[in-house]
Homo-oligomer: A and B are copies of this chain.
């Protein structure tokens, strides 16, 4: 049998029924706190519980495209603002019993977004909201989404170390102080302002000066700060290492 004949005779339904979905751990910073996009499920199973935005991958759609579509549907984002959101694959979750309906393998994605307007519910949810990560500890999420969020957060903390993705939480032009606030928020730890400043400017390609400064000083005083934009580096070298205190003790969630 040649390849042509083989394909003509091939029956896709001969294989076990598995569904593939994408889920999105979308992070942003609001009011100085890390927030996560959640929807309240409007349908069974787990109706009423909070869950990650996500859904089935369409037949002609790439995985990351599906993730961006789901994100767009829940945030109302489109065009240039949507393009500025960073989306990357996080990991896949496929325990046989993770969904009571059937075998569902979910390709989780991680997204970094600048401060966005309030979320708007999509079709299969009656509520979508940015929820402060700090308030998540006592809230139960649907399916294994609690684990996915934990993995996503650890990945985010880790990505700030060796990529310039912290800038994706900010407007195109930002000050070093704003960038430091991103690190402090995601890592949950104060950083030494002077050392951070020195380090950021010394890593090639991390940020580049716009030549301009802010119009006014900060709300609580201080001089006008210089403005920077993201540089062209895709990896930071040398990296901005987290204080030893903040790194994970085990490795399970680290990729």
Contact = CB atoms under 8 A, between A and B. Distances in A.
Interface of A: 1-3, 6-7, 10, 12-13, 15-20, 44-47, 56-63, 88-89, 91-92, 94-96, 100-103, 105, 107, 163, 234-235, 237-238, 241, 244, 247-251, 254-255
Contacts of A88: 255
A248 to B, nearest CB: 7
Contact of A12 (B19, B44, B46, B59): B19
A7 B45 CA distance: 8
Contacts of A62: 94-96
Contacts of A248: 235
A18 B16 contact: no
A74 B71 CA distance: 40
A3 B44 contact: yes
Contacts of A89: 91-92, 255
Contact of A45 (B6, B45, B101, B234): B6
Given A12-B101, A16-B59, A163-B251, 16 more contacts: A2-B44, A3-B46, A6-B45, A12-B102, A12-B103, A13-B17, A15-B19, A15-B56, A17-B17, A60-B96, A62-B95, A63-B95, A92-B107, A235-B247, A235-B250, A255-B255
Contacts of A250: 234-235
